[in-house]
Structure 1
Amino acid sequence: MNELKAFPYQRVLILGLAKSGTAVAKLLHRNGIGVIVNDLKTPEDDDNVRQIRDLGIGVIVGEHPLSVLDDVDAVIKNPGIPYENVLIKEALHKDLPILTEIELIAYFGIDQVVGITGSNGKTTTTTLIYEMFKRAELPASLAGNIGHVASEVAEGMEENEKMIIELSSFQLLGVDRFKPRIAVLLNLFEAHLDYHHTIEHYQNAKATIFKNQTEQDYLVYNADDPRIKQMVKPAASTLVPFSREAQLTTGAYCKDGAIYFKQEKVMDIDAIALVGAHNLENILAAVAVAKIEGISNLTIQAVLGSFTGVSHRLQFVEEVNGRLCYNDSKATNILATSKALNAFSQPVILLAGGLDRGNEFDELIPHMSNVKGMVLFGETSEKLTRAGKAADVEQIQIVTTMEEAVQQAYQLSEKGDIILLSPACASWDQYKTFEERGNMFIDSVHKL
């Protein structure tokens, strides 16, 4: 088991419990670091609270007393906790470092890290890269926003093992020394502005992924994205572009119906199993990383020829009497749903709706030409109804449950249609997670 090296903080406040907070509290305790834990919403009888208290770690739940900042020299916060939080504001006033748990990777001496970020496509790209490493028999572990606590993974990694880590803007805001050997910037669109407030702040958070890189490191970036092209200009690392639109002299790109890296043909696009034109960008990014790591074309071909997607991201569920049902519950913004709609030429029955973040859905309208019916739910159902009417969608239904939504979608559909859950909204108005929402869809499809 790896140990923290030269960790500069002696007593740390863990703000926010859940999976990552619990793991970090235990990890720091094992490494002799003083820890206190504070969480507003977790109840006293929660199992995580009991486990941490059994270790002799102080835990305060149900309130945010400012006294928890006494005698601490750093705060490690849950990425989702906003900087307007009363304790975070007070910690900043005290000039305390505000970190997220991925910063701990730097203190484990893990230098073989591939970090992936972007507004959309992170999970698909991260999983593709991991599958390529695994098929090439390169020792690697998944970590980060994909569901595995990064510092916990780092603690158990073997020598020469690589970490493939999905990174959100929330996580990246809380790093100081963290540095991936290969950083991947997929795209940048207006997202999470309720957290970051401006696109500039959001962009700066994403740019943190390469701020510590040197010329020995690599930055794989989307050359089709104007904001990304501007962002990477000050990077010290070796730039490796990818493009779906332009034929490059370096990096990964498309030409004559095939994927190329530099001047070398990697494989034909027709042989790729993953549906959706937007996924080509994720594939190009993964190919660029694989080629940097010396992975063979045969290995890349084997993975791309069989990989059909990750759970809740344009995941094929079942064919029901000629209708193809897809679960895209991870589409929590307009861009993701737009890309999902563009993946199909067949008529679509769209299931959408969820948390109202204050935005309208006008940007979805140009992508709805093949939507013949909509089944809507959640806080945004009326807003999505307006968008559907503006797009001349033939039939629009509003329901309250996912089972109703699937049944209505089936009734509106015909043989050859696509039944697509792609909500364009976060799930938190009705579900704890987008996974729970997607699983409800899958269960309801199976009931058909």
Structure 2
Amino acid sequence: MTTKQKIAILGAGESGVGTAVLALKQGFEVFVSDRGRIKEKYKNKLGEIGVEWEEEIHSEERILSADVVMKSPGIPDTAPLVVKLKEKNIPVISEIEFAGKYTDATIIGITGSNGKTTTTKWTYHILKNAGLNVGMAGNVGDSFALQVAETNVDYYVLELSSFQLDGIESFRPHISAIVNITPDHLDRYNYNLEEYVASKFRITKNQTEEDFFIYDSDDELIKSWLKDHPVKAKELPFSVSQKLENGAYLEDNNIKITTQNTQFIMPKSSLALEGQHNTKNAMAASTIAQLLRIRKETIRASMESFQGVEHRLEKVLKINNVLYINDSKATNINATYYALDSMDTETVWIVGGVDKGNNYAELLPLVNEKVKAIICLGVDNSKIFEAFGNCVELMSETQSMAEAVQMAYKIADKGNAVLLSPACASFDLFENYEDRGRQFKDAVRNL
């Protein structure tokens, strides 16, 4: 009789529970362990499928007897239990690595510091409109593992964070994309930018000459890494500043994409989303669609009809001629840079949260030019006060979203904008960036 392989799953959130469902289906003996409290809906799911679980504790002896461990992305590699597992040479993998082994679908993997959600959803939107049988997972939607267990699709579009990529060994997307790299999550990478860049490039590490790698060739960090670390996949860069023989570029306000000797041209003005960063996101998504031989008319129509992403420069309401904008998804400096850069009126800026090693100096020119007042929303706002104390006349701090929005309402004059663009993680006062964004929208609607 064959002994069942044992898998221990650390973390009972979306990826952990999805992995439990798939592992059970694949004949593993499954045990789920979470150091925190498990949400009721996940407890119910685990109970429904008959998987053993524990919360607010890790039974180390049991976990250390597993053949393989799936670690949720939020758990750092430095966690004592993870260190012990690695010392015992027990494989510690991500959900992406585990689920990737059990699907024959063509995989499109998209990463980047900013814009990966928009690019993923835009790509999915085109493929869906083209009538392809496609799933979307990773950092968005239901977990990849759950979808592999419960559905059967021909294509997956996966949004992949650096934390998910850290836990891959053999995972190989047919098409990979890095939409940009800017300093982010440095607290998880020993405040070493090179470690973070290396993490992003894991997306292409298992690709071969038969695969494709799409990237921003205007991005200095990406260009510099590629010089010293050549990739095997066929490279398809995109750029808004230079003409390219293969890939996507901008010329006379037209996006031109050349892949496999086929050219596709589309006016930039027809894109549903504004801003140079969204032009680049559109280039990446269109290049993927072109590689999959989707009809040009379908690509064009999808570029025009895409609605964008919740919590990313989302216009909420106009009250007394003041526009309230939810950019809660801006959890790093670069994302907030895009947001402030897109403001064309005087702005009351709500900022703050858990600092991830931010260097606020990059924002100084934009704050001087566009921001009339700053409202800090976080447990520790000292770095923000230090960076911008001399830039604006009015700076205050608060511990709740409702209070921050009330304060902004009093400060903003007709024609101003109120922008929530925190540049920080949300975990000090909120469950996640979605919770933060929803609280902002609720507070605005209650004004």
Match of 1:217 in 2: 211
Are 1:218 and 1:240, in contact at CA under 8 Å, matched by a contact in 2?
Answer: yes
2:250 is aligned with what amino acid?
C
Match of 2:178 in 1: 185
Match of 1:284 in 2: 283
SS in 1 for 2:269: helix
Counterparts of 1:23-422 in structure 2, within 5 Å, are 23-42=18-37, 46=40, 48-49=42-43, 51-52=45-46, 55-158=49-152, 161-197=154-190, 198-232=192-226, 233-262=229-258, 264=263, 266-357=265-356, 359=358, 361-368=360-367, 369-390=369-390, 392-422=391-421
1:374 is aligned with what amino acid?
I
SS in 2 for 1:319: strand
SS in 2 for 1:278: helix
- Say which of 12, 20, 24 aligns to 1:17: 12
Q: For the residues of structure 2 that align with 1:167 and 1:356, how far apart are their CA atoms?
A: 22
Q: For the residues of structure 2 that align with 1:330 and 1:400, how far apart are their CA atoms?
A: 19
Q: 1:380 to 1:291 in 2, by over 3 A?
A: farther
Structure 2: gaps spanning 5 or more residues? none
Are 2:243 and 2:251, in contact at CA under 8 Å, matched by a contact in 1?
Answer: yes
Are 1:105 and 1:178, in contact at CA under 8 Å, matched by a contact in 2?
Answer: no
The alpha-carbon deviation at position 50 of structure 1 amounts to 5.7
Q: For the residues of structure 2 that align with 1:400 and 1:72, how far apart are their CA atoms?
A: 43
Q: 1:356 to 1:236 in 2, by over 3 A?
A: closer
The alpha-carbon deviation at position 132 of structure 1 amounts to 0.9
Are 2:18 and 2:144, in contact at CA under 8 Å, matched by a contact in 1?
Answer: no
Q: For the residues of structure 2 that align with 1:151 and 1:75, how far apart are their CA atoms?
A: 14
1:302 is aligned with what amino acid?
A
1:184 is aligned with what amino acid?
A
Q: For the residues of structure 1 that align with 2:195 and 2:35, how far apart are their CA atoms?
A: 26
Q: For the residues of structure 2 that align with 1:203 and 1:71, how far apart are their CA atoms?
A: 33
Are 1:99 and 1:174, in contact at CA under 8 Å, matched by a contact in 2?
Answer: yes
Q: 1:50 to 1:148 in 2, by over 3 A?
A: closer
Q: 1:59 to 1:447 in 2, by over 3 A?
A: closer
Q: For the residues of structure 1 that align with 2:340 and 2:95, how far apart are their CA atoms?
A: 36
The alpha-carbon deviation at position 245 of structure 1 amounts to 1.7
Q: Which moved more, 1:22-31 or 1:311-320?
A: 22-31
Q: Which moved more, 1:236-245 or 1:295-304?
A: 295-304
Q: Which moved more, 1:273-282 or 1:420-429?
A: 273-282
The alpha-carbon deviation at position 360 of structure 1 amounts to 5.0
Q: Which moved more, 1:116-125 or 1:352-361?
A: 352-361
Q: For the residues of structure 2 that align with 1:230 and 1:23, how far apart are their CA atoms?
A: 37
Q: For the residues of structure 2 that align with 1:210 and 1:172, how far apart are their CA atoms?
A: 10
Q: 1:267 to 1:50 in 2, by over 3 A?
A: closer
Q: For the residues of structure 2 that align with 1:51 and 1:305, how far apart are their CA atoms?
A: 39
The alpha-carbon deviation at position 89 of structure 1 amounts to 0.7
Q: For the residues of structure 2 that align with 1:55 and 1:143, how far apart are their CA atoms?
A: 22
Deviations 1:43-99 (A, max 9, x none): 6x9553465356553333322333023432111111110111121111100111110
TM-score, L = length of structure 1 = 0.92
Q: Which moved more, 1:128-137 or 1:375-384?
A: 375-384
Are 1:308 and 1:315, in contact at CA under 8 Å, matched by a contact in 2?
Answer: no
Q: CA RMSD of the aligned region, Å?
A: 2.1
Deviations 1:282-330 (A, max 9, x none): 1111111111112233222222223242000111112222222211001
Are 1:258 and 1:265, in contact at CA under 8 Å, matched by a contact in 2?
Answer: no
Q: 1:447 to 1:35 in 2, by over 3 A?
A: same
Q: For the residues of structure 2 that align with 1:332 and 1:322, how far apart are their CA atoms?
A: 27
The alpha-carbon deviation at position 249 of structure 1 amounts to 1.8
Q: 1:420 to 1:28 in 2, by over 3 A?
A: same
Structure 1: gaps spanning 5 or more residues? 1-7
Q: 1:318 to 1:296 in 2, by over 3 A?
A: farther
Match of 1:5 in 2: none
SS in 2 for 1:154: helix
Q: 1:120 to 1:9 in 2, by over 3 A?
A: farther
Match of 1:4 in 2: none
Q: For the residues of structure 1 that align with 2:399 and 2:418, how far apart are their CA atoms?
A: 18
Q: Which moved more, 1:372-381 or 1:171-180?
A: 372-381
May I ask how many residue pairs the two structures share in their alignment?
Answer: 438
The alpha-carbon deviation at position 23 of structure 1 amounts to 2.0
The alpha-carbon deviation at position 359 of structure 1 amounts to 4.1
Q: 1:120 to 1:176 in 2, by over 3 A?
A: same
Q: For the residues of structure 1 that align with 2:295 and 2:392, how far apart are their CA atoms?
A: 47
Are 2:14 and 2:142, in contact at CA under 8 Å, matched by a contact in 1?
Answer: no
Q: Which moved more, 1:275-284 or 1:113-122?
A: 275-284
Q: 1:426 to 1:405 in 2, by over 3 A?
A: same
Are 1:313 and 1:331, in contact at CA under 8 Å, matched by a contact in 2?
Answer: yes
Are 1:372 and 1:393, in contact at CA under 8 Å, matched by a contact in 2?
Answer: yes
2:333 is aligned with what amino acid?
I
Deviations 1:340-396 (A, max 9, x none): 111122222111111244545222212221112222221243322333334x22322
